[in-house]
């Protein structure tokens, strides 16, 4: 119990980290024509016209060589877009590190069919070795953007996909299966009200962000993963109850894990099992702290 209380505290601190940057850049949204989702929304990616863009990193070089493109593309897909191409930036100490980074990114690029068409590579010895990636995607339906704050009262909460872990080949396989399944769900016209990648902050931190933006609560009846703040790389999806079985049908066809773990509540609070971990008053306080505008 004490460990979960600590994880809850860490999850809240994590989502507070972006408050200052969002406030500092807030007005820049107003300078972009056809911006559909930008700094004010604070979503997983930026949407301009039918283009969805996300940038992630810097990752430590060895980790980025296994997952940087995978993780960056994950947020683009979550918003309902098919990744089209990517750019990367590599800071390495020497040629061996450059080769390690490039070979890993190339494997991810080929496995996910996301060409890397440019970027920057440098070797500055006093800097830490790292990788950043930007992915550009296109909405599969220009009138459909899946936002992370769109959950509705009564929606079922599901976790889609395997935890993205292991060597680079295993990560590519798991991520592509999740991408293909999720996009097929959308292409079949199945209603998805909200989706968010359970990345840094784990399922708990990212679920809290979804609830704060939607000004809703949640009742959790099972644990999608025992460590609540661990990076998973799976999708947290809020789906109307009548659409749930259709999601399961497609997941089964693609052999993609899908786990039902809770339900969205109208009142903004967090209940797990028999205990209320965040009261309505506390959740309302959190909502006031976050500068989101949907």
pLDDT tens-place string over residues 6-29: 888 888 888 888 888 888 999 999
At residue 227, the pLDDT reads 79
Distance CA 185, CA 202 (A): 23
For residue 224, what pLDDT is reported?
77
pLDDT surpasses 80 at 249 = yes
Cα gap 24→10, rounded to integer Å? 24
Same domain, yes or no, for 159 and 48?
no
How high is the mean pLDDT of the chain?
93
| pLDDT tier at 45, thresholds 50, 70, 90 | very high
* 55 and 126 in a common domain: yes
Tell me: the pLDDT tens digits for 165-217?
999 999 999 999 999 999 999 999 999 999 999 887 889 989 999 999 999 99
Q: Give 39's Cβ-side CA count (13 Å radius).
A: 15
187 shares its domain with 110: no
Q: Is it the case that residue 49 has pLDDT exceeding 60?
A: yes
Confidence of residue 294 (pLDDT cuts 50, 70, 90): low
* The pLDDT of residue 2 is above 70: no
Q: Which residues pair with 130 in a beta bridge?
A: 60, 91
In a domain, 233, yes or no: yes
Which has the closest alpha carbon to 163: 133, 199, 196?
A: 199
What is the pLDDT, as a whole number, of residue 118?
96
Q: Could you give the CA distance from residue 251 to residue 141 in angstroms, rounded to a whole number?
A: 21
Residue 150 lies in a domain: no
In this predicted structure, what is the pLDDT of residue 109?
98
Whole domain around residue 210: which residue ranges? 155-289
- Half-sphere CA count of 86, side-chain side, radius 13 A: 30
* Residue 1 confidence (pLDDT) above 60: no
Average pLDDT over residues 34-41: 94
Model confidence at 159: pLDDT above 60: yes
- In the chain, the percentage of residues whose pLDDT exceeds 70 is 99
If asked whether residues 229 and 120 sit together in one domain, one would say no
Q: Does residue 93 lie within any of the structural domains?
A: yes
Mean pLDDT confidence for 210-232: 88
214 plus 283 within the same structural domain: yes
Please tell me the distance from the alpha carbon of residue 158 to that of residue 286, in angstroms, as a whole number: 24
| Model pLDDT, residue 60 | 97
* Domain-located, residue 21: no
> Same structural domain for residues 119 and 64?
yes
Claim to verify: residue 163 and residue 284 sit in the same structural domain = yes
Query: CB-based burial of residue 9 (10 Å sphere; 0-12 exposed, 13-18 middle, 19+ buried)?
Result: exposed
**Do 98 and 167 fall within a single domain?**
no
DSSP letter (8 states) at residue 129: P
pLDDT for the residue numbered 136: 98
End residue of a domain, out of 139, 168, 193: 139
Residue 161 has pLDDT above 80, yes or no: yes
Claim to verify: residue 135 and residue 46 sit in the same structural domain: yes
Q: How many domains does the chain have?
A: 2
Could you say which of 77, 106, 139 is where a domain stops? 139
Same domain, 164 and 120: no
Handedness of CA 267, 39, 42, 34 (dihedral sign): positive
Q: Single out the residue in 81, 106, 139 at which a domain terminates.
A: 139
CATH of the domain at 95: 3.30.1330.10
Question: Residue 79: is its pLDDT beyond 60?
Answer: yes
């Amino acid at each position: 119990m004490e460990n979960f209380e600590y994880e809850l505290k860490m999850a809240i601190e994590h989502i507070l980290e972006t408050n200052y940057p969002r406030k500092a850049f807030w007005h820049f949204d107003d300078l972009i024509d056809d911006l559909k989702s930008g700094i004010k929304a604070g979503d997983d990616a930026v949407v301009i016209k039918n283009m969805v863009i996300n940038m992630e990193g810097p990752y430590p070089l060895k980790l980025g060589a296994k997952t940087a493109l995978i993780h960056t593309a994950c947020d683009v897909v979550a918003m309902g877009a098919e990744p089209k191409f990517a750019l990367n930036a590599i800071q390495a100490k020497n040629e061996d590190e450059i080769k390690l980074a490039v070979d890993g990114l190339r494997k991810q690029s080929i496995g996910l069919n996301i060409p890397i068409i440019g970027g920057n590579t440098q070797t500055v010895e006093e800097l830490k070795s790292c990788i950043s990636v930007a992915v550009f995607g296109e909405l599969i339906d220009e009138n459909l953007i899946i936002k992370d704050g769109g959950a509705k009262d009564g929606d079922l909460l599901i976790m889609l996909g395997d935890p993205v872990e292991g060597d680079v080949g295993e990560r590519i396989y798991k991520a592509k299966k999740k991408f293909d399944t999720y996009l097929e769900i959308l292409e079949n016209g199945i209603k998805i009200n909200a989706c968010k990648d359970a990345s840094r902050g784990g399922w708990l931190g990212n679920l809290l962000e979804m609830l704060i933006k939607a000004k809703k609560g949640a009742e959790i009846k099972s644990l999608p993963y025992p460590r609540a703040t661990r990076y998973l790389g799976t999708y947290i999806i809020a789906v109307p109850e009548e659409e749930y079985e259709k999601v399961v049908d497609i997941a089964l066809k693609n052999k993609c894990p899908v786990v039902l773990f809770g339900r969205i509540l109208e009142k903004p609070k967090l209940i797990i099992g028999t205990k209320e971990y965040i009261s309505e008053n506390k959740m309302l306080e959190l909502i006031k702290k976050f500068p989101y505008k949907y």
